[in-house]
Amino acid sequence: MPLTEKENTFHYVKYAVLLSVFGNLILFFLKVYFGIISHSLAMISDAFHTLSDLSTSVIVLFAAREARRSPDSEHPFGHGRAEDIAIVSMSTLLIVVAFEFLRRGYTRFYTGNTVRTSLPLLAVIILSIITKELMARGTFLLGKKANSSLIKADAWHHRSDALSSLPVALVCIFPNYPLVDAAVTIFIASLIGIVGIQLLKETVSRLMGRAISKEEEEKIKEVITRSFPEIKDIHSITLHDYGGKGVITLHVTVKSNLSVLESHQLADSIEKAIHQATGYQGLVHIEPDQD
């Protein structure tokens, strides 16, 4: 991703973080207060899930600031992978939070406790669901405009919080059944854990060197065949991604009677076309046609 795009992404990240900080702090204190006075473990666990969204937004801001740094001698392809490292941290935090609430929910099955429900408690739950969904949609929109998986990951934190608040409403409906509170807490923990594991799996795959997608491969082939009709075949396309910046290597088959100079010039032209179309540096290997 060019530096100008990184700068643009950083501006969108700042908007997303401001939205997260403002919304999450208000919801956190409301949920903790009503969770304590109602003795609802599900509500308290939901509150700390909301707080985890705030902490991950801070990580998002730091990672975006690092990712926009220019390439240097130690990192010739820039610092784009700082975003993926941040997503790994965010995912791990979600998994840790999920494990802790899973433990607490399991313990509640044996200790038991009567939840004190009230109309204000139900109002806070509804307010939380609406607010978090609006925050999620706003953050998804920013992520789409910036084409940033980092912002989209932050949006999933908001949406998971909105979804986890839905079963908490059951506690208000069945206040005299402590097992419902325990079951809801375990459900929330499972939801948080699943989101964390999915984000972690996708991001680790990128860090380990993902294979090029079919869509990306077809796009590259289309660009080359449209601009260079003399090329007979394109194969062995490999992507080396360093967070929106990196290298695309490929092999092309050309007429065997091309001179070394002509082959070199053709490779240079293809590499420029790849860079213009994808933003990645191209590295082309020329092969002679055996026919």
Distance CA 117, CA 175 (A): 6
Q: Which pTM does this prediction carry?
A: 0.66
CB 158 within 8 A of CB 56: no
Distance CA 286, CA 235 (A): 11
Listed by start position, the domains of the chain span 3-207, 214-288
Can you give the pLDDT at residue 2? 47
The arrangement of secondary structure in 214-288, i.e. its CATH architecture, is 2-Layer Sandwich (3.30)
Q: Which fold has domain 3-207?
A: Alpha-lytic protease prodomain-like (1.20.1510)
Which pLDDT tens digit goes with each residue over 217-276?
888 888 888 888 888 888 888 888 776 677 889 999 988 888 888 889 989 999 999 888
Distance CA 232, CA 241 (A): 27
* pLDDT band, very low/low/confident/very high, at 26 (cuts 50, 70, 90): confident
